[in-house]
Structures are given as structure tokens and as C-alpha cells.
Amino acid sequence: MRCYYHRDLESIGTCKNCTKGICPKCALECDSGLACSNECERRIKLIDSAVDRSINMGILPSLFWVLVGICFLAGFMFAWLLEEFDWTYLTFIIFGVLYVLAIHWRYIQRQG
């Protein structure tokens, strides 16, 4: 593959934004890949920061609370079906919350 801008030069990779072949002369280093121009570098950084933001504050906490909510809802439904509040119900809630916490903890560990 040849560089998109220098037809006589061999490319060392592709732009992460527009996937054009780029040579060492054109390549701009980004945290997550190569860019062919300042415009592409800017866009890659924008996408990267958006992804980082959604991982840090969006996806993880919402998934966590959705799971907690499911556990509580399932617990309440169980209690409603039994038409009583007893130890079965409490055990269900406790194990549900512990299960969600375990998943949450493993996720945090993986993020390092």
C-alpha cells in the first residue's frame, strides 16, 4: 500500500479516522493510532475522549445500577408472588446485591 499523499512512498499504516494509507512523513501519532492530518488527529482525539467519558461515567455506573435495580425488582416480585416478606426474600436480595458487587469489583480490577 502506498501513502495517500505521497504516491512514491510506502505506507506504514492507515489513518484511524479516514483509513487512508500514510507514510512516516505524514503520520501523526495519536494515543490510539495514526492520523494522516491535523483534522483527522483532532477527530480521533474527540472520539477517544468521548469513548473514555462514556466508559468512566456512563456505561459502567448505569449498568451497575440497572443490575442492582433488576435484583431489587426481582426480589420484590418474588415477595409479591409469595405474598409475604420473609427470609427467602431477604436472602434473594442479599445474594443479588453481592452478585452485582462482585461483577462491579471485577470490572474495576480489569480497568487497573
Interaction site with Zn ion (CB under 5 A): 3, 5-6, 15, 17-18, 23, 25-26, 36, 40
Nearer to Zn ion, 2 or 106 (CB): 2
CB of 50 to Zn ion, least distance (A): 18
Nearer to Zn ion, 30 or 71 (CB): 30
For 20, residues 6+ apart whose C-beta sits below 8 A from its C-beta are 4, 5, 14, 36
What is the enclosing helix (H) or strand (E) of 76? helix 60-82
CB of 19 to Zn ion, least distance (A): 8
For 104, residues 6+ apart whose C-beta sits below 8 A from its C-beta are 60, 64
Nearer to Zn ion, 36 or 100 (CB): 36
Give the span between the Cα atoms of 97 and 74, in whole angstroms: 11
CB of 23 to Zn ion, least distance (A): 3
CB of 35 to Zn ion, least distance (A): 6
Question: Cell for 67?
Answer: 443490575
Nearer to Zn ion, 26 or 71 (CB): 26
